[in-house]
Amino acid sequence: MARDADGCLRVEEEAVAPARPGEGIGGGKSSPAALARTAEAVAAFVERARARGAGEVKVVGTEALRRSRERRGFVAGVARRLGVPLDVLSPAEEGELVLLAARRSLALGAEPVTVVDVGGGSGQIVREREAGEAPAVASYAVGCVLVTERYLDAEPDPEAWERARRYLREELKGVEPAAEVVVTGGTATAAVTLELEMETWEAARVHGRVLEAEMLAALAERVYRMPAASRRALAGMPEGRADIFPAGALALAEILRKLDAPRATVSAQGVRFGVAYRHLEGIPGGE
């Protein structure tokens, strides 16, 4: 990535790999196969970045690694293999980065904004405070992989769906309302691609789109009630997300309900963009 004259990031190349490092997190133990897939994906991305002439590469991890019992060995192995340190972010650091990305890339009002990021192992609610103050970051065990593994079967089960909903409402019971809300992460962007039946990723159509909470809740349940094979065939369903999307969308809908937010603005720029903004803003010229 590089920084343009107006301060925005110019994306040279963007790619995802459905490695799912949080697999097994619902049972309290990371999957060795998932960690191996993740290590291979990270290596491939680092190689691609270097092939494009990247002078410095940054690799970060979030909740899946924070909770993993194998975290220390995985981090050391990646660093040794690639010669790049892997920085496992704290919930506060992760929250600050998603807030930074939202502020830098969206036309938001002057009032404090709240950013919601539902990942695989957790959901972060980041509340902006007065200028100069660190944001308030709260982390909840509502990640799409975690909720899927604990509560939802591969095939639809109405009772399992209600158990998941009850769990989410109990976990989120302390969440208070907010004014302007931004949502980011794979669940939020997948909700847009499904709504638009977007076969090919177009960041410009996703970033800044308004997501209606009622639509999201209905979409979550509609997708869950489909047979697993039908979910995978949906236009706009990202690769590797069909089984975990319903849980993530339900979690996101329940968070918006607690925030008393009938709608939210979608940011396609999450943690990795926050890392890039923070790094480039400390370099004259920003290359």
Is the separation of the CB atoms in 246 and 220 below 8 Å?
yes
Domain 2-90 class in CATH? alpha beta
Check residue 286 and give its pLDDT: 46
Is the separation of the CB atoms in 273 and 5 below 8 Å?
no
Check residue 285 and give its pLDDT: 46
Establish whether domains 2-90 and 95-271 are of one fold.
yes
Mean residue pLDDT across the chain: 89
Taking 60 as the threshold, does the pLDDT of residue 5 lie above it?
no
Percentage of the chain beyond pLDDT 90 is: 63
- Rounded CA-CA distance 43/281 in Å is 26
Find where tokens 């009622």 sit: 214
Give residue-wise pLDDT tens across range 31-47: 888 888 888 999 999 99
Statement: the pTM of the whole predicted model exceeds 0.75: yes
Residue 161 tokens, joined: 């769906």
Dihedral of alpha carbons 190, 210, 258, 165, sign: negative
| End-to-end Cα spacing for the chain | 8
Check residue 27 and give its pLDDT: 66
Interior/surface letters 6-38, b for 16+ CB within 10 angstroms, e for the rest: eeebeeeeeeeeebbbbbbbbeeebbeebbebb
Is the separation of the CB atoms in 173 and 162 below 8 Å?
no
**Segment (H or E) for 99:** helix 91-105
The residue extents of the domains of the chain are 2-90, 95-271
Is the separation of the CB atoms in 120 and 143 below 8 Å?
yes
Give residue-wise pLDDT tens across range 186-205: 999 999 999 999 999 999 99
Residue 265's pLDDT band (boundaries 50, 70, 90)?
Answer: very high
The CATH number of the structural domain formed by 95-271 is 3.30.420.150
